[in-house]
Amino acid sequence: MATIETAAPSTGRRTLRRHRSGRTRGMLVFALPSMVWYLAFTIGPLIAMFVIAFYDWRGLASRPEWTGLANFERMFSDPRVLNATGVTLVHLVFSLPITIVGAFMVGYFLNLKLPGHRILRVVMFIPALISISALGMMFIAVLGPVGLVNGILQNLGIGATAWLADSSTALACVIGISIWSGVGFNAILFSARLSSIEEDVFAAADLDGAGHWRKMWSIAFPIALDYVGVLTMLQYLWTLFGTAGLILVLTQGGPGTSTETLSWLVFRFGYQDSQVGYSQALGLLLFILGVLGLLLIRRVLRARY
CB of 145 closer than 8 Å to CB of 155: no
Cα gap 151→155, rounded to integer Å: 6
* Cα distance between residue 203 and residue 240, in whole Å: 40
As a whole number, the mean pLDDT across the chain is 87
Do residues 103 and 190 touch, judged by C-beta distance below 8 A?
yes
User: Amino acid letter at 142?
Assistant: V
Euclidean distance between CA atoms 227 and 217, whole angstroms: 14
C-alpha pair distances (Å), 291 with each of 50, 54, 98, 127, 265:
15, 21, 21, 27, 19
Q: How do residues 70-122 score in pLDDT, each as one tens digit?
A: 999 999 999 999 999 999 999 999 999 999 999 999 999 998 888 887 888 88
pTM for the whole structure: 0.86
Query: Nearest Cα to 279, choosing from 76, 57, 124?
Result: 57
Nearest to 205 by CA among 189, 219, 223: 219
- Give me the residues of the chain with pLDDT under 50, please: 1-7
With a CB cutoff of 8 Å and minimum separation 6, the contacts of 263 are 88, 240, 241, 242, 243, 244, 286
Model pLDDT, residue 20: 62
DSSP state of 225: H
Radius of gyration of the chain (CA): 26
Confidence (pLDDT) at 240: 93
Q: Which tens digits make up the pLDDT trace of 283-294?
A: 999 999 999 999
Q: What is the pLDDT of residue 208?
A: 84
Q: Quick one: pLDDT at residue 22?
A: 58
